[in-house]
Chains A and B, each alone.
Chain A
Amino acid sequence: MNRQLFAYITHQNGVANDSAFELAAAAKKISADTSVTAIVTGKGEGLTKVCEQASSAFAKVWKIEDDAFAYPNAELIRALILKILPEKSVILLAHDTFGMDLGPGLSIKLNASFISDVVNIEGTDGDALKTVRQEYSGQVSTHISCDIADGAVINIRPGAFKPEEASIGGKIEDKSSEAAGIAAKRKYVKTIEAEVGDVDITKSEVLVSIGRGIEDEDNIEIAQELADAIGADVSCSRPIVDAKWLEKSRQVGTSGQTVKPKVYIALGISGSFQHLGGIKGSPFMVAVNKNANAPIFQVADIGITDDLLDFVPVLTEKIEKL
């Protein structure tokens, strides 16, 4: 079958994001013997370097350089992709804040199917692509069958596919002329960097991290006391920041800080991929959760099934007495 495969590559400061190579790995699982084309857009010096990096994992690289793409505005990129993508193609995007912005609308305009946040690809049977997704922050998984006869936009979860060592040496083709006349009703203005808080959790060696299981603002004390006893800092999951119980600078995750502690103690955190995405360097992870099936237990080293509000004070008291 002559189904064409594409991947849209994002990059920063002249370096392709890890997701680029993960998309190459995912594409292979759709069709091992189809050559995949990477689409790279941008403006400036770094772009050529990104294309060269992409060419190690993709058979073809389409380079599109234009002022309009100096910042990746999903509305502009969508218009471009609509112009250059052959009919009925399958295109892969990373399920990050850019891919979430681009994917759903792109699928409608391409009249293609859309599958969001794919964590595994089991293969194709004719025009049916079988994939795995998760629901309820990873508490359950589902098999999804998707008809890709008319093409598909597939958003791939960052970190879910292992990139392969490759040196394909793909051909870079300059398609910058296609950028002419691309316009959108949404204009990028600027990026405001995250605020720096009182404690820099990215430097902490030991973190006591609280999630929604802490239940009440007053209970944060329980975590703080444990942290004080062991010489740790307190970090948290997103709902704690949404509730304004702790500063945004304490949030661990894809939309918060990336931490690399030696020890990470997760209290009442379910283990969503957005949260885990902010924990690097494989720390020794302890999870306390009252739900024995919480996804955090799949990644933690040590698990304790208990109500943290009961257990943590017992632990702290023992430590204080040491």
Chain B
Amino acid sequence: MEILVCVKRAPDTLENEITVNKDGTNIEQEDLVYSVNEWDNYAVEEAIQIRDKVGGSVTVVTVGDEDAEEVLRREMAMGADNGILISDKAFENSDGKGIASILKAEIEKGKYDLILTGAQADDGAGQIGGMLAAMLDLPYASLVNKIDSEDGKLTIGREIEGGAQEINEIELPCVLSIQTGINEPRYVGIRGIRKVASIEIPVRTASDLGLDTNAVGDAGAKVKKLDYFIPETGDGAEMLTGSQEEIADKLIELLKAKGGMK
């Protein structure tokens, strides 16, 4: 099975507290540590496991700047066979539809049986997989937490409310967005990354993909981010202050009063 996984380089929320920069145009970039979007690791792991079972190849693709190459290498160190970096100044400030149409142009140059994305990334929009499927006229399922492959079709589980699982049959080729927890993504060490350090990763530009630069990037975006801000909140929590001991004493009194202690 030829599998393509779309991945994204995103700020690592484990390593960073995300705040807004001074003029509210972006999140604060200073000391920001990036890694692979959490959901994408699960998607790549799933792709590798399917390939190891039924044969074929796994290609990882990302739309981003030159720094995005490092996430491709990381996923290749996990076991993906090929990486493709799609990069062009003209792609900056693309909205979801813009990113999906860039990916579509690349996908149409290859021949893939299965296309995976993460269920969502840092902006929580969760839109690329569904858009891509519609553009390619392929069936789609989101929030997939189980995949069984049989000939010509897949049986998949979708995670729905309350932890229930919705089982579907879906024809190949198709697009699936992958939910966390579907597998346990393998660990990648420095050595693994070194092994793939010299593999050539092709870079595709707008003209390589025959894309009209007015339809993507800022020019093509109908959905635009105006600013970043920290919302005014209501009352918020009463913050306990003092030494750890003092705070613990205050909290114990509160817990007693509220029935939090037996």
Contacts and interface: CB of A to CB of B under 8 A. Distances in A.
Interface string B106-127: 0000000000000100111111
A116 B222 CA distance: 13
Contacts of B161: 96-97, 254-255
Contacts of B227: 142-143
A212 B38 CA distance: 13
A100 B142 contact: yes
A258 B164 CA distance: 13
A139 B20 CA distance: 9
Most chain B Cβ neighbours within 10 Å, of A113, A184, A243, A304: A304
A97 B159 contact: yes
A101 B142 contact: yes
Interface in B228-262: 228-231, 233-234, 236-240, 244-245, 247-249, 251-252, 254-255, 258-262
Interface string B166-179: 11111100100000
Contacts, number: 270
Interface string B131-159: 10111001111110000000000010111
B251 A251 contact: no
A141 B249 CA distance: 35
B154 to A, nearest CB: 10
B124 A230 contact: no
A192 interface: yes
B242 to A, nearest CB: 10
Contacts of A139: 13, 17-19
Nearest to A205: B259
Contacts of B247: 304, 306, 311
Given A189-B168, A315-B251, A310 B126 contact: no
A302 B17 CA distance: 21
A284 B133 contact: no
Nearest to A71: B166
B17 A291 contact: yes
Nearest to A229: B261
B11 interface: yes
A144 B226 contact: yes
A311 B248 CA distance: 8
Nearest to A207: B260
Nearest to A231: B262
Contacts of B248: 311, 314-315, 318
Contacts of B252: 315, 318-319, 322
B202 interface: no
Most chain A Cβ neighbours within 10 Å, of B19, B125, B129, B141: B125
B171 A185 contact: yes
B122 A248 contact: no
Contacts of B244: 306, 310-311, 314
Contacts of B224: 144-146
Given A144-B226, A256-B162, A116 B139 contact: no
A160 B18 CA distance: 22
Interface string B71-84: 00000000000000
Given A108-B134, A185-B170, A194 B259 contact: no
B128 interface: yes
B180 A239 contact: yes
B14 A212 contact: yes
Given A105-B131, A114-B97, A303-B240, A192 B168 contact: no
A187 B158 CA distance: 12
Contacts of B20: 140
B163 interface: yes
B197 interface: no
Interface stretch (A24-32, A129-137, A165-173): A129-137
Contacts of A212: 14
Given A105-B133, A256-B162, A265 B260 contact: yes
B124 A186 contact: no
A293 B237 contact: no
Interface of A: 73-75, 96-98, 100-109, 113-117, 130, 132-137, 139-147, 184-195, 205-206, 212, 230-232, 238-239, 241-244, 248-249, 251, 254-258, 262-263, 265, 270, 284-287, 291, 293, 297-306, 310-311, 314-315, 318-319, 322
For the complex of A and B, the 4 pairs showing the least CB-CB separation, nearest first, are: A104-B130, A231-B262, A303-B237, A263-B260
Given A206-B259, A304-B247, 9 more contacts: A74-B140, A96-B161, A104-B126, A109-B134, A186-B171, A243-B184, A255-B161, A270-B13, A302-B254
25 contacts: A100-B119, A101-B130, A101-B143, A105-B134, A132-B231, A135-B27, A136-B13, A139-B17, A141-B230, A142-B227, A142-B229, A143-B226, A146-B222, A186-B168, A190-B167, A191-B160, A244-B184, A255-B161, A262-B260, A286-B255, A293-B230, A298-B236, A303-B236, A311-B247, A315-B248
